[in-house]
Structure 1
């Protein structure tokens, strides 16, 4: 049965990836492989203190395992959806065991093994016993992570209706933390080397991802109990996840959903945004940012990463230089993620196209909805974090930049969404093209604040704030007007693009 499932998975993967751009797949694979090799080199490097190597390996292990689990929770099992087996006369436990074995054949496990081999490189420096412990730790880490990824995909992935519960938020927070830690990896490694953040060392050692490096270090000291106990803990975590998996699989196959009450719309209830077409679109957008898994994930990532990029240096290095700009960084990330909202909606654009004169209300409503979703938090975090940062000289910089970026991002949102829209795949997940577009937008959104930045560099101080407000409002209005024109002129072409090769979710 395992062989049949592996062949089936391979066939489905070959069919789904047939339309993907080979160059994009190759570049992505090379970048991930380069990261894995870079992690391997961290294990081979020398450190002034013995404990530093263990801390660094625990950190990179957390990033790789966490990233693997976050990816599975976000996208689910992309090929063998549990719902496909609901009508098969196969015992649930047997099917569950088979799917766990199939999960071990995932190519992502190879990359995780290369990265985890940093423990073997470290063990080779400490002696044969440490090397043997490192090999055991790598095998256990890869196997247990594969089991946990399978469970995460079944519990939180597409098809589990995670968009209607806390699963989306949990997944988004995990992705955010992993992305933030990966971005700040050099600063975190420096903090571990300097012992400037004892809490970070304690946290990394306590998490299961730190047990493997702990076992390697203990084997290097000749501490047998200290070697076996962490390895046994990893194995126990995998056994617990494997024991839970049949129940999770059963719920997915039977389509059980918790009952939800009180979600109905009360008759005569008025929207606080009014009854105008623009207000109706804005209200719909607010609901989409709160309920759609892709949008909510992006929004939470923007909030966590934007704020964390300012807070982490304060906690680890004692510098508050980035705290005033946490709101601005949040706006940049949220604006970049919003630059494909039409692509995210897919065929849902049909009502707008079929309603005469709806283009303007649709564009302006999307702009207003995004501003209401992001603006209050960005402004509040800017004011609060600037006040506690102790960097009073950055007040005009923080206020001016967040003002300019809010207007600029709101202007880019609709027009960038209509330029090369990237529809989601058949399972409702972002595609490589979507990811590339967001990364390009991460570079373009900050450029909308260039006039404000030049005014600040020229020493205008608070005088840069009205410049920021003027340029932001101008960009929001003019780019929005341009988006209305594009939407009116290319409605049919847009619908064809968003419905081309569209398949119903499995």
Structure 2
């Protein structure tokens, strides 16, 4: 009990400092958004049907996969911190589990689980009484499933097969969530929520409220089993040995650039984190484009390649930060063309797969060839240039690969900045293809040379800017990677961290970033492909229902709306960033003026 109370007090102290620090605004915005979603979940409890168990299934899925895409979730209390104390794994797991209930996500989830109380009112006083322990047990199931999933993924990333398998599973799940509108439309067309959803672990609380008290017992047993599994995985994590690197084939290169290319290509195939990211990007692109097939709509299949390129670029945007202090090798190698070598290696890793996907799926659907052949070279060139440019200008200090510890998902101490960098990269890569796609939509095959020219210019121009920046500021970047702090920086935060801004502006930024893809992709790009093929009257695509004179203008307006939302979010973020930098500069000047 003493161990549990100590860990709880530590988590409370960390949370108090986080609320007062630079993370406070992000936490408050996430909390407001979470409360709104929780309120919508509780509202479903007043409706007939299986909407509430389906919603809880989504919450459970969010708990499982959410930490996977945020560096392993909340790890303010890491198991490695307590490995030298000699605690038994079960006691450590119980203490960490209790501390995990303290935070924004558990509170918001508990509010969403209040729908069990609403459902219990239909069963009378007994249902309301049972709903209270059911809420607590259901939340414990969510938290433990999250912890065990992250621990299992960490074990999977210890082998190449496991890393690929984990990437495939995560890509499928996230693509399904990203294309949720497909399944919403399918249900709206007469489909029903499958009966088995009610019997998933996420629905056991509702079964208990409805009178099946064995569900409470089942949740308690599941919690004990998950706790035991987590304790065993914690033991493996804190005592795991590092894989041997013996037996590697020696690397031979005649020039410095060839050495960079060979090193990068080997990193793409041997670094299990990169392997996981590549498998995820590939699976996400294919599944995201194939999801509309559930409605009999194949038109989005040709976008699998472009989506894969964008996701691969966003995941590899912090390439220098991920490599850590290995950058000193480049600084000590005269004449090494590190940027160009990395660009060629990135194209070699991403390009062939992207081209194969694009051509194969476009052959299946029979077009639209001008759009895909215009977008693909532009995206490849834009990705190859922007990956290096964003990395050297907005580097997020990463954890050296040799020091990643038991959670390989966490590649940086500032995971929030990595998320901001990924969103920005998606926007920038999409913008690099916008001129070619616009020309192809209006003038057909003329978009192909525009796409090739745009890709070449982005590759050469952005690479040149990155190379100059690396030459001029290479030593400073190495210092950032070593210490995690920037010269003259007070907080040490990356350029992509969420700056302090008013609550309405922060809410607008979050809405623009998270919802901008809806008008841009399905209502814009996908609608354009349908119109080009003469497919009209599809359920969810507004442009296909418009009169002939308004179809293309509607689709173009949707694309502009999506780009406008992303641009608005970026401009508000940038304005707040400049104001924060000005405030810090004034704070540094005041003591100097007062000194005489």
Aligned residues: 474
The answer as to 2:15 corresponding to 1:30 is no
Map of 2:230 onto structure 1? 245
Deviation of 1:203 after TM superposition, in Å, equals 6.4
Deviation of 1:405 after TM superposition, in Å, equals 0.8
In 2, distance between residues paired with 1:385 and 1:228?
Answer: 51
In 2, distance between residues paired with 1:472 and 1:412?
Answer: 11
> Aligned in 2, Cα 1:320/1:249: closer, same or farther, shift over 3 Å?
same
Choose the corresponding residue for 1:494, options 477, 480, 491.
Answer: 477
CA contact (8 A) 1:82 1:154 kept: no
The answer as to 2:346 corresponding to 1:370 is yes
In 2, distance between residues paired with 1:480 and 1:104?
Answer: 46
Structure 1 vs Structure 2 CA RMSD: 3.4
After superposition, what is the alpha-carbon deviation per residue over 1:262-289, rounded to whole angstroms, capped at 9, x for unaligned?
A: 852235x65xxx5432232223223333
Choose the corresponding residue for 2:185, options 187, 190, 197.
Answer: 190
3-state DSSP class of the match of 1:490? helix
In 1, distance between residues paired with 2:198 and 2:472?
Answer: 58
Deviation of 1:314 after TM superposition, in Å, equals 0.9
After superposition, what is the alpha-carbon deviation per residue over 1:50-73, rounded to whole angstroms, capped at 9, x for unaligned?
A: 24x25632542343332356368x
How does 1:398-413 map onto structure 2 within 5 Å?
398-413=372-387
> Aligned in 2, Cα 1:97/1:63: closer, same or farther, shift over 3 Å?
closer
3-state DSSP class of the match of 1:78? coil
In 1, distance between residues paired with 2:127 and 2:158?
Answer: 44
In 2, distance between residues paired with 1:416 and 1:243?
Answer: 43
In the superposition, the TM-score normalised over structure 2's length comes to: 0.70
Choose the corresponding residue for 1:347, options 325, 335, 338.
Answer: 325
Deviation of 1:327 after TM superposition, in Å, equals 1.1
In 1, distance between residues paired with 2:32 and 2:60?
Answer: 21
Map of 2:264 onto structure 1? 285
- Which segments of 5 or more consecutive residues in structure 1 lack a partner in the other structure? none
In 2, distance between residues paired with 1:18 and 1:347?
Answer: 31
In 2, distance between residues paired with 1:436 and 1:277?
Answer: 33
In 2, distance between residues paired with 1:122 and 1:354?
Answer: 67
CA contact (8 A) 2:321 2:397 kept: yes
> Aligned in 2, Cα 1:131/1:369: closer, same or farther, shift over 3 Å?
farther
Map of 1:327 onto structure 2? 305
In 1, distance between residues paired with 2:13 and 2:162?
Answer: 30
In the superposition, the TM-score normalised over structure 1's length comes to: 0.81
Choose the corresponding residue for 2:452, options 456, 464, 469.
Answer: 469
Map of 2:573 onto structure 1? none
Deviation of 1:167 after TM superposition, in Å, equals 5.2
In 2, distance between residues paired with 1:293 and 1:265?
Answer: 16
> Aligned in 2, Cα 1:193/1:228: closer, same or farther, shift over 3 Å?
farther
How does 1:68-467 map onto structure 2 within 5 Å?
68=66, 70=68, 74-75=71-72, 78-124=75-121, 135-157=132-154, 162-164=157-159, 168-169=163-164, 171-196=166-191, 201=194, 204-205=197-198, 207-213=200-206, 219=210, 224=211, 227-253=212-238, 255-257=239-241, 263-267=246-250, 270=252, 275-292=254-271, 295-315=274-294, 317-358=295-336, 361-388=337-364, 390=365, 392-424=366-398, 428-429=411-412, 430-461=414-445, 463-467=446-450
